[in-house]
Amino acid sequence: MNIKNRFWISLLATFLLSLSLSAAASEWSLKDNTGVRHTLSGERGHWVLVNFWAPWCPSCLQEIPEFVSLQNQHKNLQIIGVAVMYKTRTEVTDSIQKQAVSYPIVLGNEDTASDFGGMAGLPTSFLYSPAGQLVGKHEGPLTREEVEQAIDGKTTTLFVR
Amino acid sequence: MHHSKSIRTHALLTATLVIATLGTTNEALACAACGCTLSTDWGSQGISTAPGFSADLSYSYLNQNQQRYGNGKASAALINTLNAAGQEIEAYTRTQTLTASLNYTGDTGGVSIQLPFMNRAHGTYGNLAGVTGPVGTSYTTSSDSGIGDVRIIGNYTGFSADKTSGLIAGVKLPTGNTGALFTSGTNAGSALDSGLQIGTGSTDIILGGFTSGAISSYGWFAQGTVQHAVTTDAALGGMTYRPGDAYTLNAGIRHAEFGAKFTPMLQLNIIKREADTGTSVPMDALNPAIPVSGGTLAYLAPGVSVRMGGGISMYGFVQLPIYQKVNSLQLAPQYTLTMGMRQSF
């Protein structure tokens, strides 16, 4: 490989590395299906649980009633559901109506997931402290009790960073 | 003066990186019990899975400056022999392409309109048959810029429930310029050969298929297409030209979580291009049965895609030749570059 080739390949590598670094953002902004925008900074003072799910995913649907109960019982907690990998909006709205979801639902996509750093499976949930710090990520279904234990500091292994 | 048609082969090969808009659903790639969720958005390779519209702007750089004969580098002795026998000896062909694409992906398929803007610079030592003098005596160059041949590619994924496979059908229109002239040197003002024009002058149909899947956390795709010219225009000076049929096979693999910001990937691009035909197509000076066009090329293309947020992705690839077999003496690139940006709406 001659010097000119190396130059072009180095230029490409530098270009892509700079893109990768600039893409690392911490703040997120989610607009729910009623048009309300939720941001990490805007939720200061509350625990925040961001739950990624899909309407075709049995494990995701299984944990939704747990979250509904959790949201109704804890005023210092804000749950935000992010639906991804759905075919149609109707598919999502049918699911949330059937489950009587009481917390905001965002119609997300892969770019939405990218703002949280990506994920290997569904459901995946991210827990933030009232100070806006990421407590950690949990892959797999959660129960109401598990989230309550995490908020109460009784477990530190459920959500990992 | 005749000029080899090698540029067509390589230009087409480069285009294979962004040739089609495919659609697949994600459900089929999710493991049982939602255990693993793999990104299926191959948008940086023109394979969009996100429903709705997307726009793509890509730049590719192709510098053909290596003399090859058959499946090896052409020796100086062979070049001198061919030159003495009257074969044209080219110096370089440099092609830069900026392609704007608008894509739509629906429930059972999608369509992509690709509009290229091209610059092609070419230099040749010419054909010394009947000329007394050393190589370079008849050196001449050309440069042309403008809209290239527009492609409209559709795909249909409604044949199977998982929609991970589908068919491709499209058309390449003769919108590119076919009337460029040599701009300097001994042949300034004379017609540039058909194979070096920005447009082929032909309307081509493109047919193919694709499939994609996942193995553990690795996603893969394979895509094959056939391109055939159905109508041709007469070249300058009444010469006829028909680009040879092209058969492409592209396969790619990558490791990617759903929503990953940084995705490395690797593609294998293979293209077999039949020789061009027509009165403006040159033949080998030593063996008149061999046309100076067509060949089989294989490239390995490592690349990366980076999600920038807001639906924007940037990507880049380097195509490195791993096999090149050309008919007669043709110019080949030592690498190609492609960089682009994609916005989903």
A45-58: per-residue pLDDT in tens? 999 999 999 998 89
pLDDT at B18: 30
Using CA atoms, how far apart are residues B226 and B248, in angstroms rounded to an integer? 7
Q: Which residues contact B86 (CB under 8 A, 6 or more apart)?
A: B127, B128, B129, B130, B285
Predicted confidence (pLDDT) per residue in B69-119, tens digit: 999 999 999 998 998 888 889 899 999 999 999 999 887 888 999 999 999
**Cβ A119–B309 below 8 Å, yes or no?**
no
Average pLDDT, chain B: 81
- Residue B100 Cα distances to B63, B95, B200, B322, angstroms: 21, 16, 19, 29
Distance from C-alpha of A147 to C-alpha of A143, rounded to nearest angstrom: 7
Which of A9, A110, A122, A126 to mutate to test binding with chain B, by most B CBs within 10 Å of its CB? Answer: A110
Q: Please determine, for residue B295, whether its predicted confidence score (pLDDT) is greater than 70.
A: yes
- Please tell me if residue A85 touches chain B, with a CB cutoff of 8 Å: yes
Who has greater pLDDT, B249 or B310? B249
**Residue A13: per-residue pLDDT:** 61
Task: State the pLDDT at residue B272.
Answer: 94
Q: Is the pLDDT of residue B11 over 90?
A: no
Contact A119 B61 (CB under 8 A): no
Please check the confidence at residue B45 and state whether its pLDDT lies above 80.
Answer: no
Closest CB from A23, A60, A116 relative to B34? A60
What does pTM read for this prediction?
Answer: 0.78
Contact A15 B318 (CB under 8 A): no
Cα–Cα distance, A94 to A88 (Å, whole number): 10
Phi/psi region, residue B237 (left: phi>0; alpha: psi -120 to 50; beta: rest), is left
User: How far from the centroid of its chain's Cα atoms is residue B211's Cα?
Assistant: 20
- Contact (CB<8Å) B34/A122: yes
B268, B298 contact by CB (below 8 A): yes
Q: Which residues of B touch A15 (CB under 8 A)?
A: 316, 339
For the complex shown, is ipTM > 0.85? no
Token pair of A21, please?
A: 């670094």
Looking at residue B22, its pLDDT comes to: 26
The number of C-beta contacts closer than 8 angstroms across A and B is: 108
Establish if A9 touches chain B: CB-CB under 8 angstroms: yes
Token representation of residue B318: 């380097």
